[in-house]
């Protein structure tokens, strides 16, 4: 029981330290906030890991199951991304018909939907950015470190399609969503739902490779859709 409490305290302390740091960065030096986020997510867990002689591989940053991770990523991408695309278009078709207060609450962007095939400006840079600056640090921090340490405290859970999902899974998804409120925009809480999929992939695979690839690809797909349908490039 003492070990369980210690694991929870450690995980929550690391999350709180990262959140406060990000909040301060967005308020004081917003031009460097993204860099601060990347560094925080990669290095805040290190003090705890070093104390136990652990490294990144112990928290899922490993290619040991690359083939299985790629197959899992491909399967989910083939199912989820077409559904997401249709939902995206329907949402922005509906958005102009909602009251203005609702529109501001639900989305940071608006305007009519007019399709024109194009990629965002500097798309190759976006690929590198989303994979190595955004998705990998976030997946290591949340699905790697946070979910693992919370699972050390609460190993119980129900097996769902080959992955054991318990309190650690749900709390990690909640903390992921709350962490996005360092920039206080209500719609950012919606990341709770993809976090459930990221967390399942982590539990099923044992690594964060699949969730990192899916996370980065989902962000890129959203950017491409915004460019094609909303003219945001």
- The CA distance from 12 to 4, in Å, is 12
Residue 178 near residue 20, CB atoms below 8 Å? no
Q: If DSSP codes are grouped into helix, strand and coil, which group holds residue 158? A: strand
**Chain segment 11-56, per-residue pLDDT in tens:** 999 999 999 999 999 999 999 999 999 999 999 998 889 888 999 9
HSE-up (13 A, CA, CB side) for residue 26: 15
Please determine, for residue 193, whether its predicted confidence score (pLDDT) is greater than 90: yes
The token duo for 133 is 């600056």
**Chain segment 206-222, per-residue pLDDT in tens:** 999 999 999 999 999 99
Q: Which domain holds residue 178?
A: 2-230
Please determine, for residue 108, whether its predicted confidence score (pLDDT) is greater than 60: no
- The CA distance from 36 to 61, in Å, is 20
pLDDT on residue 211: 98
Q: If DSSP codes are grouped into helix, strand and coil, which group holds residue 118? A: coil
Angle at 86 between CA 176 and CA 190, to 5 degrees: 20
For the chain, how many structural domains are there in total? 1
User: For residue 23, how many other CB atoms are within 10 A of its CB?
Assistant: 16
């Amino acid at each position: 029981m003492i070990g369980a409490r210690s694991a929870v305290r450690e995980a929550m302390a690391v999350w709180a330290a990262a959140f406060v740091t990000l909040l301060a960065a967005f308020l004081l030096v917003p031009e460097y906030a993204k860099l601060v986020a990347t560094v925080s997510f990669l290095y805040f867990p290190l003090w705890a890991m070093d104390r136990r002689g652990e490294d990144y591989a112990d928290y899922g940053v490993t290619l040991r199951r690359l083939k299985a991770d790629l197959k899992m990523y491909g399967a989910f991408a083939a199912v989820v991304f077409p559904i997401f695309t249709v939902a995206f278009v329907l949402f922005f078709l509906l958005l102009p018909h909602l009251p203005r207060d609702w529109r501001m609450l639900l989305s940071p962007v608006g305007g009519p939907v007019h399709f024109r095939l194009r990629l965002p400006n500097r798309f190759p840079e976006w690929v590198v950015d989303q994979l190595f600056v955004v998705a990998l640090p976030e997946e290591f921090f949340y699905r790697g470190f946070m979910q693992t340490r919370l699972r050390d405290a609460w190993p119980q859970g129900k097996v769902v399609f080959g992955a054991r999902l318990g309190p650690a899974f749900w709390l990690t998804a909640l903390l992921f969503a709350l962490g996005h409120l360092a920039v206080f925009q209500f719609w950012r809480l919606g990341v709770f739902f993809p976090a459930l999929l990221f967390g399942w992939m982590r539990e099923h695979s044992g690594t964060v490779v699949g969730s990192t690839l899916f996370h980065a690809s989902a962000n890129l797909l959203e950017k491409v859709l915004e460019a094609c349908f909303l003219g945001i490039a």
